Amino acid sequence: MRILLTGGAGFIGQHVLAELLRRGHAVRVLDSLRPDVHRGDARWTPPAGVELIVGDVRDRPQVDAALAGTDAVIHLAAKVGLGVDVGDLPDYASSNDAGTATLLAGMAAVGVGRLTLASSMVVYGEGVGLCPEHGAVRPAPRLEAALAVGEFEPPCPTCGRPLGTTLVDEDAPLDPRNAYASSKVAQEFYVANWARVTGGSAAMLRYHNVYGPGMPRDTPYAGVAAIFTSALRAGKPPRVFEDGRQRRDFIHVRDIAAATVAACERHEAGLVAFNVGSGTPRTVGEMAVALARALQGPEPVVTGQYRLGDVRHITADSTRLRDALGWRPMVGFEEGMAELAHADALGASPPRTP
């Protein structure tokens, strides 16, 4: 297929691009190369045979040029991060939501009817918790007064008891709790509107915690794995927020790329959301320990610090993706963490291309 890949110069985008090329697709990349994402990489050069349009998804003429002659779109371009500061709201709304709306309008105008959207686990907020009395419930918001005294577990909204954890499937209610999460939910709704009106097909991939070679470092887009690894390379202990028992589903970027390309190739009808996770929950503290051991660095320090917009636990049930598209994660946690720890330099290990 002839595929437009937005955000193709980014961390995940470069791995998706490599997978597309490995599978023989013709690819055009649309990327703004915005400096807050691509520090030091503003002169990114695509692999041979890949056309790069340096442009913004909010710019309709550039979008129209990028869409010309394409069969499908993989939409990764977005402003990421938590969006803790209220002042960030306009940029999230503009970059993510207005950008997606502009792209969808362009797709409708030229008749491109296949879309794969990079969504996120953050759309679920705290997801689903298990109360010993009330069963599966939507966790109540965590209050700053509780976090300040080390009460990190989200409470049952009915009785206030701390909740147990469970895997979250795609039918869980959407509950965005920060600016980034709200923008990803809005993206999904815009895509649903587009699919309903045009009859197009869309796979909305709710990525869980992505890590791997090429992770951005020292930018607002750096994930916790990159932050920990940067500290260890500087001889400093990783600083783990809260009590380190936050549960996540860490998924290697090559597995993310494989899932994204599989959705682009195989999802041909309707609007479907897919969780993309390893299926094996780990704590943030466990990840810090694994990286410290791999780098023979200092033990992690659990700080008790917190950020109000952070989610306590969110782990994926990726059964739908496995069953519908035949995808399986291939990179184990220990293997992936060791690879990340021993990469030559974060942000300097591009994915392999054919």
- For range 7-23, the mean pLDDT: 96
Cα separation of 135 and 213, whole Å? Answer: 40
User: What is the average per-residue pLDDT within 288-298?
Assistant: 93
User: What is the pTM (predicted TM-score) of this model?
Assistant: 0.90
Which uninterrupted H or E stretch holds 151?
Answer: none
pLDDT, tens only, 80-124? 876 557 888 899 999 999 999 999 999 999 999 999 999 999 999
Confidence of residue 345 (pLDDT cuts 50, 70, 90): very low
Straight-line distance from the first to the last Cα atom of the chain, in angstroms, rounded to the nearest whole number: 17
pLDDT tens-digit series, residues 219-260: 554 578 888 988 999 999 999 999 999 999 999 999 999 999
CA distances (Å), 344 to each of 107, 120, 224, 253, 350, in order? 40, 28, 18, 17, 11
Q: Round to whole Å and give the CA distance between 50 and 4.
A: 10
Contact 254, 330 (CB under 8 A): yes
How sure is the predictor about 346, in pLDDT bands with cuts at 50, 70 and 90?
very low
Nearest to 101 by CA among 178, 37, 188, 31: 188
Which spans in 36-178 are helix H? Answer: 60-67, 89-92, 99-110, 144-148
Distance in angstroms (rounded) separating the CA atoms of residues 265 and 260: 9
What's the chain's average pLDDT?
A: 90
Paired tokens of 27: 């690819």
26: β partners: 2
Cα–Cα distance for residue pair 180/196, rounded to 1 Å:
25
pLDDT of residue 90: 92
Which residues have C-beta within 8 Å of that of residue 118, sequence separation ≥ 6? 7, 12, 74, 75, 76, 78, 205, 207, 260
The whole-number pLDDT of residue 42 equals 56
Three-state DSSP state, 152:
coil
